[in-house]
Structure 1
């Protein structure tokens, strides 16, 4: 019997292998050349007896690992075994909840293996006979079901920035850009290359084009192993076929492709080389060539006498619904059978799998020698030893991330609404405090407190949203090893500085002179610097709250409570705070900002007209007296500690957002 090539195997030949226990290797033939260069290190992927378990939490939801003792345990994957070679497409088919995405995530090395001392993932997954490693991770492309893309970047910008981050430093920036352009051409994205990606509130490219952009991000590295989770989900039949045709062409270059798919059309189904079918409870019921799956199920007692989409029949079987129970009754009378009937069908399929496929498959995996594939394993091992941990330097990552962040948020940061908000508040406040005379010391102090409060809270609420909104993007890109967390953190926070500092500067320029504050240039500059200093501290606290909670609603609630406490303890509303709670004000950066602004505006020897013809010292005014005008440099140092401490806390909190 002749060995057959993946994707072109004759049905009769493969079916003979299914019926018998003859071990037949599936060597990867020399793939035809395509527009993209050939994969240099093809990967043969094997997975044996893969089992994955989770525990049920007290609220009824399933959670990974730990939890209270005695909670119910559920097995998501029940001993899945399979293999896929270079040049092949392996499709994982099954009903919702069967564990397709979990298995794909495990193959990509993105599932936790242990939690609370318990092993979650068991079994053996090997890549050219080697376990998962950093070098394999960098040769693996993972396309998630949801397209996680920046909405305000164009297609070209998205792929160019990804190329600058992911391609090795041995290539020049120009070569990286040219490579991104070649990927755009190969994926048929030339027509929309200058169009924005778009999002829920922004019109952009189509769903099929977004999916191709997601694939393109992974294709930049020319991966040896490409994993796709539901690449055709939500797409019409024509677009789905175009996507899968692209994937087929990529596989023909010697890549190993594994994809999950929910309910493919018959046209899509016949494009797969191999198929893994999972039952609704996570057991394997078929592994082999997709072209003979129908013949296999007919041979074990589940034939169909009508023409039907193979995927529809397979999904019915995976749910425990036998073909004759569907087509032997009128459509109006069929109710899908009882749960006992479904369970009986599934047990029969699992038993047939163990009897006809499992033994042959395990024998085949044991006898497979990856050295038969042109020494790929040896080359890949040598290549892994030469790979650096990061493709680019820290400084290059920082520069690219900063440029990308400025481009992405140029519409958000400098939008007309925020500018109008700040300018209108400054103008209204300037009119309310219009040329406040020096004798109205209460009003002048109130204006300074308004400075500290408005710019103590406005940046905080903006910063709270920063990391929760980018959580999915951070997980995706760090899982791909695109950059260091430190370079991302500094680039992300530095990219917000232009707008965070420009708006308060414009605010001070408007309200300072309208409010009649001390018209000395040095005093004006010091007041501006104090305010900008407070803005940075406020932003730091917002970043820390957002990074710790990583949930917009919870972070906003905590920020509201925090700002309320800081407002009350800021030294303006309450001067005689009870001793047991007076320490609250020392936690408030608004208190220190207010004190510094008072220290800049007033001196120890300043006087004001407290009554007609009577001059009083400013330092004796109740509000100023309670806050004090001494030890201002200590207050500057305390705010510096807050600035660094909050940002360090935010950075450490981001480490909990583990890449998958």
Structure 2
């Protein structure tokens, strides 16, 4: 359904402007009521509709009888049998929002505001019933890419600056029809609009180091969604943790976005009176049930008409929250004295729900059903046209890969090359080199132990680092994938390839130090081959770590499984146990440490090499027990098996990421 032809839309200068939108696909023209960066140039002769054109096509959102239930297990008392119960989170919520309007969802904590917002954003999984339509059509990929969603928690990369965070978002979410300079200009304007100029070169910060403030992080999160110029903007508690002046600035900015023909829905916990009067419509929830829907300006008038009036001047939001908690205005004194019982509050809530059903719900549902047929069909046709075109991504796969690769390198440069990690690896290499200092060729046990140490250390160290990769980025991946920012394949390859220079530099330095200090075969070709085997082993170990992390998506569970796996691979690696029982011998063929150890032996020795097994007596290296148990032949087959492990583990990780919700 398109926006009514004569819709009154409030503008930031507190005047009333009549906006007539005859075509929901038509571009909103620039004016002085909202920032110029919200309007992007579109080539009239362009053959394909860009994402920015779609972002500026208005969306009328309707939701009718939305019900959401979750199942939970309730433990029985005194050792009784646990039972599964069902809890209703949302109970028949209905409403509609037109372009140019701001709908505020108000209610106490646990009333279902965030759940309803998530459902309207098409991000809620589970037992959801009811009808939610966007321009009279169900949620689709085209709607998702025209929707901005600001979560309550700020999910940002800690080591990127404010400018870098917004610029990478612009490069990923704005179409290739805009030049790099235009995208930078949009970022600068958003930074200025949100008052982030002072901290634009500061890092976001995280739990381990201080960055920008919580309010500034919230504004960065909103700025990321402002960049894409969304038709539908959903915000979860956008003013939480902000002072009144900053909150006023945020809501004023949101008001400007709405005045450009956008549909805005926000949850808000306890707004000031100034913020409250900036909202066009209001949904008031009490324990999942609606008790008011309508203009925010008439909410107090409605509750007065059903017998809940107050004689004192009060912030409307405070009074509404008291009612949602079951506290009537004339019972506030008893509540403060602890005399207002839960039963009395329950009666008040039941009365409010009953009044809603009588005076609001019936009229609202009738209003939703009496949709003008021409507008209905026009909205469906417009949505159908945009749906077919918007399935194309705003940017190419190669562009997404390059941007994600650059962002990943910038974010992890501090983590990969921090001083503690470098000290850890180099100190182990030097200490190992001193312990194995110029080991004679006759000390075959020590030389073989050194080679096994190579395979073990660089089989386990990268695995444990890789295990944390996807669990730590889970929230970021969900946030960005939910908004259709990039393809999973471009993210996965950029994430894994971007780690290669960082992950391979330290094992190269380690091998260079320990190899020559340990006195292994002083041949440049042998050294290079040994280094390549170690790096090959690093990639395979990293692949297994990525797979474990992607499958479990939980750091504790992933590290537990990784420790068990590495212990088994260590024991079955061919050094500690030469004669593994036949019924469990297959374990060693699953161990990449076994193949790495065998390849390192094959590089250092061949079957004709001899060593001094006792004074004046020489024996074949191939007959030494630790070497004989793994052998020095079939090395190409071992290389192939490790290649299959490398590809297989990463493929498993990719498939597991596709199932992350």
Q: Same fold (TM over 0.5)?
A: yes
Offset at residue 241 of structure 1 (A): 2.0
1:54 correspondence with 2:70:
yes
Offset at residue 377 of structure 1 (A): 6.3
For the 8 Å contact 1:27–1:373, the answer to whether it is kept is no
**Partner of residue 170, structure 2:** 163
Cα 1:616–1:290, aligned 2, differ >3 Å: closer, same or farther?
same
Q: Secondary structure of 2:405's match?
A: helix
Instruction: Quote the Cα distance in structure 1 between the aligned partners of 2:180 and 2:481.
Output: 21
Counterpart of 1:75 (choices 66, 84, 88) is 88
1:474 correspondence with 2:468:
no
Instruction: Quote the Cα distance in structure 2 between the aligned partners of 1:255 and 1:583.
Output: 62
Cα 1:522–1:325, aligned 2, differ >3 Å: closer, same or farther?
same
Q: Secondary structure of 2:230's match?
A: coil
For the 8 Å contact 2:75–2:82, the answer to whether it is kept is no
For the 8 Å contact 1:92–1:260, the answer to whether it is kept is yes
Counterpart of 1:183 (choices 180, 190, 193) is 190
Counterpart of 2:291 (choices 262, 279, 285) is 285
Offset at residue 375 of structure 1 (A): 6.7
For the 8 Å contact 2:117–2:236, the answer to whether it is kept is yes
**Partner of residue 309, structure 2:** 303
Instruction: Quote the Cα distance in structure 2 between the aligned partners of 1:574 and 1:179.
Output: 63
Instruction: Quote the Cα distance in structure 2 between the aligned partners of 1:162 and 1:384.
Output: 23
Instruction: Quote the Cα distance in structure 1 between the aligned partners of 2:238 and 2:362.
Output: 32
For the 8 Å contact 1:278–1:286, the answer to whether it is kept is yes
1:557 correspondence with 2:563:
no
For the 8 Å contact 2:137–2:383, the answer to whether it is kept is no
| TM-score, normalization by structure 1 | 0.90
Offset at residue 266 of structure 1 (A): 2.0
**Partner of residue 606, structure 1:** 609
For the 8 Å contact 1:208–1:243, the answer to whether it is kept is no
Counterpart of 1:44 (choices 35, 39, 60) is 60
**Partner of residue 320, structure 1:** 326
Instruction: Quote the Cα distance in structure 2 between the aligned partners of 1:4 and 1:611.
Output: 99
Cα 1:56–1:85, aligned 2, differ >3 Å: closer, same or farther?
same
1:262 correspondence with 2:269:
yes
Q: Secondary structure of 2:66's match?
A: strand
Offset at residue 170 of structure 1 (A): 2.3
Offset at residue 373 of structure 1 (A): 11
**Partner of residue 52, structure 2:** none
Counterpart of 1:591 (choices 586, 591, 594) is 594
Instruction: Quote the Cα distance in structure 2 between the aligned partners of 1:615 and 1:442.
Output: 15
1:391-439 deviation per Cα after TM superposition (whole angstroms, max 9, x unaligned)? 1111111111101100111111111111111110000000000001111
User: Where do 1:120-269 residues align within 5 Å?
Assistant: 120-269=127-276
Q: Secondary structure of 1:71's match?
A: strand
Counterpart of 1:90 (choices 93, 103, 108) is 103
Counterpart of 1:412 (choices 400, 411, 415) is 415
Instruction: Quote the Cα distance in structure 2 between the aligned partners of 1:529 and 1:59.
Output: 56
**Partner of residue 18, structure 1:** none
For the 8 Å contact 1:370–1:377, the answer to whether it is kept is no
Aligned length: 623
User: Where do 1:361-376 residues align within 5 Å?
Assistant: 361-369=364-372
For the 8 Å contact 2:470–2:549, the answer to whether it is kept is yes
**Partner of residue 551, structure 2:** 548
For the 8 Å contact 1:49–1:78, the answer to whether it is kept is yes
Offset at residue 188 of structure 1 (A): 2.6
Cα 1:33–1:380, aligned 2, differ >3 Å: closer, same or farther?
farther
Instruction: Quote the Cα distance in structure 2 between the aligned partners of 1:596 and 1:221.
Output: 52
For the 8 Å contact 1:135–1:387, the answer to whether it is kept is yes
Higher mean alpha-carbon deviation, 547-556 vs 158-167, is at 158-167
Offset at residue 449 of structure 1 (A): 0.7
1:530-551 deviation per Cα after TM superposition (whole angstroms, max 9, x unaligned)? 1111000000000000001000
Instruction: Quote the Cα distance in structure 2 between the aligned partners of 1:575 and 1:318.
Output: 72
Cα 1:28–1:106, aligned 2, differ >3 Å: closer, same or farther?
farther
**Partner of residue 514, structure 2:** 511
For the 8 Å contact 1:94–1:262, the answer to whether it is kept is yes
Offset at residue 91 of structure 1 (A): 0.4
Structure 1 spans left out of the alignment, 5+ residues: 9-24, 61-67, 114-119
1:631 correspondence with 2:621:
no
Q: Secondary structure of 1:298's match?
A: helix
Instruction: Quote the Cα distance in structure 1 between the aligned partners of 2:372 and 2:339.
Output: 45
Instruction: Quote the Cα distance in structure 1 between the aligned partners of 2:134 and 2:630.
Output: 67
Offset at residue 261 of structure 1 (A): 0.9
Q: Secondary structure of 2:497's match?
A: helix
For the 8 Å contact 1:7–1:272, the answer to whether it is kept is no
Structure 2 spans left out of the alignment, 5+ residues: 1-5, 12-17, 23-27, 40-54
Instruction: Quote the Cα distance in structure 2 between the aligned partners of 1:209 and 1:126.
Output: 34
Q: Secondary structure of 2:91's match?
A: strand
Runs of 4+ in 1 over 6 A off after TM superposition: 25-32, 370-377
Offset at residue 304 of structure 1 (A): 1.5
Offset at residue 6 of structure 1 (A): 5.1
**Partner of residue 49, structure 2:** none
Instruction: Quote the Cα distance in structure 1 between the aligned partners of 2:617 and 2:464.
Output: 44
1:351 correspondence with 2:357:
no
Q: Secondary structure of 2:537's match?
A: helix
| TM-score, normalization by structure 2 | 0.90
